[in-house]
């Protein structure tokens, strides 16, 4: 799975002008299931993200996790993270997982974050979503479950 993690002061997602997810301080995680992802990839990625120390401590250093600050997570599916831009001007998305399994892995990822005690809001898999956020820092981190065993 691939994830783009943004530290935010607030974020929200709407579908057809209907608010479906909103958080204050925490993480906006754009996530994409990739072909070949194992069944345990969502839980492993969730644990890595939940423990990511990118929030400021009292000394101003990035030393706290989202749980440490009492933050929340907004999880939004984004198959375009699978973009292959090596050739031409039109990205290819053939490495993204098929929709049925991709949705299952996406939901497993959100559930894994919840199981770690984090408040989680989600987007709507496969929908045309509008995402608004205030990136804090800005802090944006790329993570791929294939980068670690």
Distance CA 12, CA 2 (A): 20
**pLDDT on residue 148:** 56
Long-range contact pairs involving 88-93 (C-beta distance under 8 Å, separation at least 24): none
- Domains defined for the chain, CATH in brackets: 2-147 (3.50.80.10)
**Rounded to 5°, angle at Cα 80 from 30 and 90:** 155
Task: List pLDDT tens digits, range 67-126.
Answer: 999 999 999 999 999 999 999 899 999 999 999 999 999 999 999 999 999 999 999 999
Q: Which of 55, 79, 121, 122 is catalytic?
A: 79
Reply yes or no on whether 79 is catalytic.
yes
Instruction: Give this prediction's pTM.
Output: 0.95
Average pLDDT on 43-55 reads: 97
Q: Which of 6, 78, 121, 122 is catalytic?
A: 78
Reply yes or no on whether 78 is catalytic.
yes
Distance CA 85, CA 125 (A): 23
């Amino acid at each position: 799975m691939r994830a783009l993690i943004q530290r935010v002061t607030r974020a929200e997602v709407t579908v057809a002008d209907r608010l479906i997810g909103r958080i204050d301080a925490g993480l906006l995680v754009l996530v994409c299931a990739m072909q070949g992802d194992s069944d345990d990839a969502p839980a492993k990625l969730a644990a890595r993200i939940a423990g990511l120390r990118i929030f400021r401590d009292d000394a101003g250093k990035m030393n706290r996790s989202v749980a440490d600050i009492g933050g929340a997570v907004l999880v939004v599916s984004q198959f375009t993270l699978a973009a292959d831009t090596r050739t031409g001007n039109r990205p290819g998305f053939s490495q993204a997982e098929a929709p049925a399994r991709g949705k299952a892995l996406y939901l497993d990822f959100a559930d894994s974050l919840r199981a770690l005690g984090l408040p989680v809001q989600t987007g709507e898999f496969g929908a045309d979503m509008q995402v608004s956020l205030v990136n804090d820092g800005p802090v944006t981190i790329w993570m791929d479950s294939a980068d670690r065993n």
